[in-house]
Amino acid sequence: MNEENLSAIEIYMNRVFKLVILAAPGATLCAGLTYTAIKFLGFYPMVSMLALLIFDSTCLLYFITAILFVRHCETPDGYLKPNIIKYGKIFLAILEIIQWNFISYLIPCRDFWAYGAFFILFAVFFLDHKYTLLISAEIALSLIASWFIKGDTLLPAHDELFIPNLIIRAVNIFLVVLCLWLITYLVQKRLAHELEKLADYDALTLLHNRRSMKTHISNVMKQAEKGEGTFTLLMCDLDNFKRVNDTFGHDCGDLILKTVANIISCDVKKDDMVFRYGGEEILVMVLADPEITGRVAERIRSDVANEKITYNDKNVGITITIGVAGYKPNATVDELIKIADDKLYFGKNNGKNQVVNE
């Protein structure tokens, strides 16, 4: 899997999806085999061996299904197939509800309600608070229904502490469900957003990074193919940047990179996108044709050349060379980038501090 072109959330789902899909049925299969072994040792005389074997068979069937999910969940380029997460959620929901109820009625244990959190926990990893709430509600309703259906073994003992024990159990169920839902909600709304933002932006320049570049350009390219606008790429490279680093140090180089990144960001429109392509190279996607974009590129070149940068009381001059490549209907993203890159290096080899148009 080539993770360079995947977003942070896509990478997370690729890794966690396989783990969760295998872990849930794997855990229930281990539990079923454990109970069967205990039954063979002579315990649980009231439990039917046939029922246990049926439970083990369903666990094995679920586990084989999970293996098939893992083997066939990705496209050749490493992305999860369309709708695979939706089908995975449905699969786990069915597994959790059926197996939870199966094992609750099969094994006589008054405190089996406490294991409901284990089944709900798998839903949390999808970072979908609505899905987690749905699974939690179904598990809780199944548990409450079991108190009416098989209250003699699933309710607290009918003694003088029956009512307080029932209240404590109900409160615990509510608190567990609430905590798991809150965890999912906060991760989805806060941490996932921050993770995506950190993964998509370069830490030094605060520009979009190369990881997110192809996704954004591909989306705009699809719109252009439908006749819904056009775009042009600018490949920008700072002139003599290595000499600046060698002369003034890398801290000065970082200052220049941040300054140039800010100039470029200010010189383009809000809907245009600026990416740190690598090293001192910056790629700009301008939502305009090459003629208009050429004027934007010239403004960038002029503003960079006229910028007064001071480092340790010394003036540091910097210039930039830019290659321009307009959208072409039959070209891929990589081909357009190569065209812009070739024009950039033509300019670098022929005087620098210039814009090379098509």
Catalytic (active-site) positions: 280
Of 64, 155, 143, the C-alpha closest to 109 is 155
CA distance 185 to 188: 5
- What is the tally of helices (H) and strands (E) in the chain? 13, 8
CB proximity list for 104: less than 8 A, separation 6 or greater: 112, 142, 143, 146, 154
Measured between alpha carbons, how far is 15 from 13 in angstroms, rounded to an integer? 5
253 closest CA partner among 305, 205, 298: 205
What amino acid occupies position 245?
N
Selection from 261, 263, 267, 268 nearest residue 209 by Cα: 261
- DSSP letters, 53-86, are HHHHHHHHHHHHHHHHHHHTSB-TTSPBPTTHHH
CA-based Rg of the chain, rounded to a whole angstrom?
A: 30
The partner residues of 315 in beta bridges, in order of sequence, read 310
Burial (0-12, 13-18, 19+ Cβ within 10 Å), 210: middle
